[in-house]
Structure 1
């Protein structure tokens, strides 16, 4: 069998307003005209009347250059593309790739752990130095989850922060920026019950990539004790389908559907055409909220999206284990272009800890779900999240987590020490009573156990055929290419000519190609990366 290239797989209100009326230009003062510069308290955003939507078009000031730094999860990178879309739509901003040349620096932040916030505080200090060199000519904004969590505290603790904007308020960024340019600090961190940015076209930050994130919902209803993410809002299914179709037309080869609880997606805007039945959950799982009735579910969305382009891979993250009904698993099994990869966050292997976390399942129910998934999708790749040292965790609880790692045998895992966050149920009800030294030790043991198991799994994968999407050069050498397998593993393989099965010619793989590879023994199993080779092409006559 010859291997080579694979066949295709089956703005808002300005602070100073000028408008034309009866051929006269009338200058109207705004609230900021009556407030002292810079030392004034931040102004909360107000609803914008429709007749002011085009006001920015009358402002003759030159466009500002904006530099955006993104921290945290995939959702933040997706939100960055939405922010760029909002700013470009206003017609007042261009995106800069050099922080030294920028007029505006926006930090898209994460607040899930204390270390994530520490990075932002440090970065704000560094930006203060840049602002001094520019003699005050730099506007700094904090966006995202840290903005929503700390609100005005950011303005109070850092004098160089000019605006704070939460995840549900990105439409208000042009107005907040205009205020900042005039010396008025601004803040909008109001939560929305329906904001999904469905009408905002995200602007991809790297057009050379052949993969993209598509946000399908915002928020999460699970109310886990350690989390601060607010309520769920799902985008209309048609707007998601249209975005994926547009990405396919642009030649992209992989789309990842994003949501804090992606598989609890439910489009209630078309309830009249759907049965009035409650969502089916995984066996042995429960929820702390009342399940919605009717609407289009995640399996409906996945079926629609995976039908758009059979040569486009579909992934999704991050799901909750409770939302894996059989019809979803069977669809994943039967559609070649839906990646056989499932992220199944366990968080802990102890039923007692899971109960305190309000996860809605036991250790036994989780293991039963894993076995059920592997019965339906035998070659599935599983990944997970683990938290070491949650409130009240004992050594016995920790051993249960190590045991779960052995029982399941994950292909990838994200492992962290617990960091208590304000405004969570754990902060209100529990004591962060596990010593930091024990947290660090337990985390180190979890990581060591994962890599021990991962090493044996890599050895067992020798000889396995993999379909890999080429993403570009290897970071270590331009003699090698890098890509991602169907199961989500990072893959490095030699850059060499091979047979294109579509044209029956020899050529070098390029970004966006699917390449059929054979797995060789990893040279460094502890890094959890397989080293692959292209099957040597036959000599052409």
Structure 2
């Protein structure tokens, strides 16, 4: 697990490798099965795909054996993720030998990156559909049903799926993702996202607020606003311009406030932030509203300025650490997590040590940690030699993991004796006698149900009595 050494497993959905969709397929003419890999955006996209397929008479199933359509929503961010998908597709292909009518499709970033290679060279799939082409799925399915190979990987400058109401088929009924933008304009040299998801475009603010309000009215208590870089959200209301007024622009800070104002009982989270774009206005808005969670995922990638420049991250070590200090000054209780890459091209031992010292300064609660995996087509693959030996990458990653494990434990130990408002998300995986929820800082807290009558979606106060490296352990108390 060194290559994908991420945060220590907790009891939240983020710890899953993939999530098949569930649902009652009995009223549908055919059944589909989706496995989603990678980032939260992929899980959100799968809910959009489910909505489109439902509208065409297809119902979701957890049972792979009874599926007429099988989709993998894929990730290209790491080589190991692609290897996992290829192995899974091989398994599906073997299944198809005994079920000739079954169709197999690849969705998402691998579909965009590898395009027709899946169809022509490897013959693993019947359909290849990129992230901006999900509306064309019904037509592609019809084409594939005739025996033709179907592909649509065209990227769009406009598509946001704003008018599609996602089907929350694998939801816990308490938390949900709301996509606010698609694509990315940051050309980080190690990243394939700009090539697989296209240019940045922000979704209509009215549709975002409407979707979040609808979720709250249906009993959901938390929404996570999703984007590759949410802080660069910027939507212009052209309707005001048509009425003769100056076009009104909505920034991310203003969008956060609009969603927070739906109800004080609706928690608001967001992911992911780029350090160069998160503004003081966003931080002050977070501090102003109790229901905007005090948690920021702020990827550093490297703690050395020279390496950051090679990565095209557009900030220095000193600038990043000053941003961390600003966050903690405005919100002393704010949780911060990060992404870290070990062994990027030409990284020296001294530069690696600077990454570790930056971790110590930032005191991350959690991090997603990887060693550098060159991705074909990226700027780094074209410009730089991947010259750090793999054994050195693994050793550096292990050192980073060990530091983060200690920081995570220390962070949790500082919470012992404190009480937090916790949103109950469900029963603990380890015991039906315990509830599991998260506090504002995104930390998982497990506590006994006790005699009190509570249910999923309730807010309770929990005092932390002990902890592990990944989880806080406590008991319910009076607010």
Q: Same fold (TM over 0.5)?
A: yes
- Counterparts in 2 of 1:236-315, with a 5 A limit? 236-270=204-238, 295-315=249-269
Work out whether 1:190 is the aligned partner of 2:190.
no
Check whether the contact 2:118–2:124 (CA below 8 A) recurs between aligned residues: no
**Aligned residue for 1:209?**
173
2:463 is the counterpart of 1:521 = no
Could you tell me which of 368, 383, 393 is aligned with 2:337? 383
Give me the whole-angstrom Cα distance separating, in 2, the residues matched to 1:82 and 1:437: 41
User: Does the 8 Å contact 2:172/2:425 carry over to 1?
Assistant: no
The one of 209, 220, 224 aligned to 2:184: 220
TM-score after normalising by structure 2: 0.90
How far apart, CA to CA, are the structure 1 residues paired with 2:285 and 2:166? Answer: 28
1:24-173 correspondence to structure 2 within 5 Å: 63-89=29-55, 91-134=56-99, 136-173=100-137
Aligned with residue 286 of structure 2, among 325, 332, 337: 332
User: Which residue of structure 1 aligns with residue 10 of structure 2?
Assistant: none
Say whether residues 1:323 and 2:289 are aligned partners.
no
Contact 1:468 1:514 in 2 (8 A): yes
Tell me how far 1:271 sits from its aligned partner. 8.8
Alpha-carbon distance, 1:182 to partner: 0.6
Partner secondary structure for residue 193 of structure 2? coil
Deviations 1:29-65, CA, capped at 9 Å, x for gaps: xxxxxxxxxxxxxxxxxxxxxxxxxxxxxxxxx8221
Cα separation, 2, equivalents of 1:408 and 1:270: 41
**1:8: which partner in 2?**
none
Match of 1:295, SS state, is: strand
Q: Tell me the CA shift for residue 456 of structure 1.
A: 2.1
Distance in 2 separating the partners of 1:421 and 1:312: 39
Q: Does 1:370 align with 2:336?
A: no
Instruction: Give secondary structure in 2 for the equivalent of 1:487.
Output: coil
- 3-state SS, counterpart of residue 187 of structure 1: strand
Distance in structure 2 (CA, Å) of the matches to 1:329 and 1:220: 22
2:374 matches 1:420 = yes
Q: State the distance in 2 between where 1:435 and 1:214 align.
A: 40
The CA deviation string for residues 255-304 of structure 1, in whole angstroms up to 9 with x for no partner, is: 0000000111010343966xxxxxxxxxxxxxxxxxxx972110111111
Cα deviations across residues 418-471 of structure 1 (Å, max 9, x unaligned)?
Answer: 111111110110111111111111111000011112222222221111111111
Distance 1:272 1:428, change over 3 A: farther
CA distance in 2 between partners of 1:407 and 1:380 (Å): 15
SS in 1 for 2:188: coil
Q: In the alignment, is the contact (CA less than 8 A) between 1:219 and 1:260 conserved in 2?
A: yes
What is the rounded CA distance, in whole Å, between the counterparts of 1:243 and 1:457 in structure 2?
35
Matching of residue 446 in structure 1 with residue 388 in structure 2 = no
Cα–Cα, structure 1 residues 395 and 207, in superposed 2: closer, same or farther, change >3 Å? Answer: closer
The aligned counterpart of 2:20 is: none
Distance in 2 of aligned mates of 1:296 and 1:159:
46
8 Å contact from structure 1 (residues 271, 296) kept in 2: no
Three-state SS of the structure 2 residue aligned to 1:257 is strand
SS in 2 for 1:392: coil
Number of matched residues?
A: 444
Q: CA RMSD in A?
A: 1.7
Written as runs of structure 1 = structure 2, the 5 A alignment for 1:324-363 is 324-363=278-317
CA distance in 2, matches of 1:369, 1:208: 34
Distance 1:69 1:330, change over 3 A: same
Aligned pair partner of 1:494 in 448, 455, 473: 448
Matches within 5 A, 1:420-499: 420-497=374-451
Partner Cα separation in structure 2 for residue 250 and residue 516 of structure 1: 24
